[in-house]
Structure 1
Amino acid sequence: MAKTGYHHGDLRATILAAAADQIATEGVDTLSLRGLARRAGVSHAAPAHHFGDRAGLLTALAIDGFGLLATRLEAAAGDFREVAVAYITFALHYPGHFEVMFRRELLHADNPELTAARERSGAALRDGVTTLRPDDTPQHHRDAQLAAWSLVHGFASLWHEGALVDSSLADDTPEALARRMVATIDFR
């Protein structure tokens, strides 16, 4: 009996998972659509068919990443410290996504889905900070939100880049360090 069609399941998700894995292990600079197709076991045209180009693929990966991040931050809502730890653990568990999410030069930065996903995760982080002092001025909230984002993103980036390897500051698991770090911060 002749095969009349080809079915891979969720090809889009398969390609995105392969891209996230490759980026996490080899870095974003090694990623090519043809190599990714080979890695995912699909035709060389499949990634281009689904994403258009490399930037389209990375944009889709960033959209997925911002969605995953927002879900984690929203689940921790109401407690700034849990929101902060959720941000850091997201970066640790999804390094391939994290590596591309904030690299605007790699993405179709004007993509409306990307803008919406970025705003959703940003709002969840900002809301977490606002819980610290809900009656404060709008300017103080913005300042505290920027400080909080810098703190959690900075820690996640330091860990992701390996800067804390063999550091006397990194004497525990990243999650435990994150919890201790945010416990010491008072955004008043």
Structure 2
Amino acid sequence: MTSDRTYHHGDLRRAVLTAALDVIRAEGPAALSLRDLARRAGVSHAAPAHHFKDRTGLLTAIATEGYGLFADALADAPDLRERGVRYVRFATEHPAHFQVMFQPDLYRADDPELIAEKERASVELRAGVTGLPAAGRGGDPRLTGVAAWSLAHGFATLLLSGNLSGAVGDRDPEEVFRVLAYLLFAPDGPAAG
């Protein structure tokens, strides 16, 4: 039988991150407290500060990890629509990371590791816009990228907040997203003209 104190000698950093993600998923980032996380991990209240310094450091670590997972999730998607599907899937599988990643006021945006992972995710996002019909017909590829990002991020955010339950019903949200992306980005869709 293991006690909660084994975290002190094991991977305390991971234990605190996991506990923080649980809190964020259930109650949001505002509910985070290093003291509470230490209690959950069964260690002294100062132990989490050793790894993260403070609450902002913890949230920076969560955002950094999130952007890394996000970049991995987007990698090798065959086209823009599937990148969007993976975007939505990432948000539903990692809702706590997703909440923190897109609230830069929560973390240290100048953290070098965060910047590197965020750039890796940006490269993966931008790769999906390459070759889009709207970008290839003299349209602005950056604006096409913003439109695609807005669709995926908006859909994921509305889905997580429960605002699409009526519209999506019991259909697979990923399939619903594929339909929306096709409507907006198909060669003969509105974005083409």
Q: TM-score under structure 1 normalisation?
A: 0.88
Asked if structure 2 preserves the Cα contact closer than 8 Å seen for 1:72 and 1:90, the reply is: yes
What does residue 75 of structure 1 align with?
76
Deviation at 1:7, TM superposition (A): 5.1
- Say whether residues 1:35 and 2:33 are aligned partners: no
| Whole-angstrom CA distance in 1 between matches of 2:180 and 2:156 | 12
Moved more, 178-187 or 149-158: 178-187
Over the aligned positions, Cα root-mean-square deviation in angstroms equals 2.1
Match of 2:3 in 1: none
The structure-2 alpha-carbon separation of the partners of 1:138 and 1:56, relative to structure 1 and needing over 3 Å to count, comes to: farther
Partner AA of 1:84 in structure 2: G
Displacement of 1:48 in angstroms is 0.8
Q: How many angstroms does 1:10 deviate by?
A: 1.9
The answer to whether residue 183 in structure 2 is matched with residue 178 in structure 1 is no
Q: Aligned ranges for residues 37-56 of structure 1 at < 5 Å?
A: 37-56=38-57
Paired with 1:20 and 1:138, the residues of 2 have a C-alpha distance of: 43
For residues 76-91 of structure 1, what are the structure 2 equivalents within 5 Å?
76=77, 78-91=78-91
Offset, 1:163: 1.5
Amino acid at match of 2:119: E
Q: 1:8, 1:79 → 2: CA distance? A: 45
Distance 1:17 1:6 in 2: 12
Name the structure 1 match of 2:188: none
Q: Post-superposition shift, 1:157?
A: 0.7
* Identity rate, percent: 51
Correspondence 1:119 to 2:119: yes
Separation in 2 of the partners of 1:105 and 1:51? 17
Are 1:93 and 2:72 an aligned pair? no
C-alpha distance after superposition, 1:11-41 (max 9, x if no partner):
2122111111110111111110011111233
Quick check: 1:59–1:107 contact (8 Å CA) kept in 2? yes
Structure 1 alignment gaps of length 5 or more: none
Question: TM-score, with normalisation over the residues of structure 2?
Answer: 0.86
Separation (CA, whole Å) in 1 of partners of 2:102 and 2:59? 11
CA separation of 1:151 and 1:134: change in aligned 2, threshold 3 A: closer
Deviations 1:127-165 (A, max 9, x none): 112142497278611011111111100111111122223
Q: Is the 8 A contact 2:135 2:144 kept in 1?
A: no
CA contact (8 A) 2:135 2:141 kept: no
Which aligned segments of 4 or more residues in structure 1 are displaced greater than 3 angstroms? 5-8
Question: Cα distance 1:185–1:50, how it changes in 2: closer, same or farther (>3 A)?
Answer: same
Conservation of the 8 A alpha-carbon contact between 2:7 and 2:15: no
What letter corresponds to residue 121 of structure 2 in structure 1?
A: S
Equivalent residue runs for 1:102-117 within 5 Å:
102-117=102-117
Query: 1:32-67 deviations in whole A, cap 9, x for unaligned?
Result: 001111123332112111001101000000000000
Deviation at 1:180, TM superposition (A): 2.2
| Superposition deviation, residue 173 in structure 1 | 2.7
C-alpha distance 22-7 of structure 1, shift in aligned 2 (>3 A): closer
Cα gap change, 1:175 to 1:41, in 2 (>3 Å)? farther
